[in-house]
Structure 1
């Protein structure tokens, strides 16, 4: 019998691995339902759903390896990163799923959430006021209307698997739905700005780089306190706080 590996665990959800099977346990049944639904709709390689009995979704492991992780070294050739960009573009060009996703919040909702979080970051002393103010300024570029696309919603590089120069699987779809395509691109390149040109070469269309940078600031500002409260280190080298510092 294989050992049980805890892949990630916090108060909202946990992912366990037993051999080639991943068990995703989620307190929110809606996220389980979304994940199973959108993986069936996505026109890119996704894990096979073995069974779904809320609060647990069982999926098969996908082949290949990730291109890296936030705060760690990255791997893969420029062609592999371009292949990831092409896969992301294929997803964004697909027919819209029926649900709004994490990247689909209205501009007014996002502004309200961001302003509240910026105030909390400063009041709590989690981050210096000038760092928060500068990144709130940079974030403004992302706070504009967008044309909805089929988005993953949490497209960290650790969620994209490749073998050679081919994308073999994209995992963790619980935040997927209609949203801003540039949010996905920003999430995928967060902390690895040097790979953005390779990703965009595969994506195959011009994008507004100020919006990408704006989403880097938005995402980082919104998650710092959550990460701290759930036992993750946003201050680790190359992680969210370093992303915010790079805008200074």
Structure 2
């Protein structure tokens, strides 16, 4: 009897579901425009991306990338220092590319969202007020003028695939936009502060580590309620709440 591949649920929540069947990933998005952005961004990005098999909104079919993810939030990464440096070099290549035509969130939008989210976190008792207040102060450093670059927009380490010390591809481009270079570097190293030096060694450009730390706080504050409401656990060891506690 022929072996029939199983259907694996990679991600499933109210906004988006990703399924894997053999070497094919099927992404179903409640907002079809995001798959349009993903397809357009992959066509522009000067780094390896998955092969697009077909695209019929709201579904996007992608070929699996070779290799394994650089790591996972909340777990030690077994990838080499050279692999992390290669990820930094790939990010630099992306940031040096021509800008995509669509903008990202402005500083004013981010500041407004941050104020509202911090208020909700404290009012609902989700996080202690001192933890929110301290990280709100740290996050201020991210809300400064920046020169926009081509950003991935959601560069979690699970979206970067490696084979040995080489980058084989980068996944999930639906949040790609014009943005702050420090943001991509922060998301890549979120929860893995010990790998920041490796990434910056590969990135080979002047960056401000304090701004990266500010983005760790800002991103975590903005994400915690969404994560908790969509089946994720930001309180798991090494995840977003621990990232915030590290700033105390």
For 2:206 and 2:177, locate their aligned partners in 1 and report how far apart those are by CA, in whole Å.
Answer: 23
For 2:100 and 2:232, locate their aligned partners in 1 and report how far apart those are by CA, in whole Å.
Answer: 31
Give the CA deviation at 1:145. 1.0
1:70-93 Cα shifts (integer Å, max 9, x gaps): 011201111111000000000000
Partner of 1:184: 184
For 2:209 and 2:200, locate their aligned partners in 1 and report how far apart those are by CA, in whole Å.
Answer: 10
Of the three residues 55, 71, 74, the one matched with 2:74 is: 71
Of the three residues 94, 97, 100, the one matched with 1:94 is: 97
Structure 1 unpaired stretches of 5+: none
Partner of 1:142: 142
Partner of 2:198: 198
For 1:99 and 1:63, locate their aligned partners in 2 and report how far apart those are by CA, in whole Å.
Answer: 30
For 2:174 and 2:200, locate their aligned partners in 1 and report how far apart those are by CA, in whole Å.
Answer: 25
Give the CA deviation at 1:223. 0.5
SS in 2 for 1:52: strand
Partner of 1:59: 62
For 2:160 and 2:116, locate their aligned partners in 1 and report how far apart those are by CA, in whole Å.
Answer: 32
Give the CA deviation at 1:67. 1.6
TM-score (ref. length: structure 1): 0.98
* RMSD of Structure 2 on Structure 1 (CA): 0.6
Partner of 1:231: 231
Partner of 1:164: 164
Of the three residues 31, 35, 38, the one matched with 1:32 is: 35
Give the CA deviation at 1:38. 0.5
Give the CA deviation at 1:177. 1.3
Give the CA deviation at 1:201. 0.2
1:38-61 Cα shifts (integer Å, max 9, x gaps): 001100000000000011000000
For 1:50 and 1:79, locate their aligned partners in 2 and report how far apart those are by CA, in whole Å.
Answer: 31
For 1:71 and 1:80, locate their aligned partners in 2 and report how far apart those are by CA, in whole Å.
Answer: 19
Q: In the alignment, does 2:9 pair up with 1:6?
A: yes
For 1:132 and 1:168, locate their aligned partners in 2 and report how far apart those are by CA, in whole Å.
Answer: 38
Give the CA deviation at 1:206. 1.9
Give the CA deviation at 1:231. 1.2
- Higher mean alpha-carbon deviation, 131-140 vs 205-214, is at 205-214
Figure out how many residues of one structure are paired with residues of the other and give that number. 245
For 1:27 and 1:67, locate their aligned partners in 2 and report how far apart those are by CA, in whole Å.
Answer: 28
Give the CA deviation at 1:205. 1.2
SS in 2 for 1:45: coil
For 2:147 and 2:78, locate their aligned partners in 1 and report how far apart those are by CA, in whole Å.
Answer: 32
Structure 2 unpaired stretches of 5+: none
Runs of 4+ in 1 over 6 A off after TM superposition: none
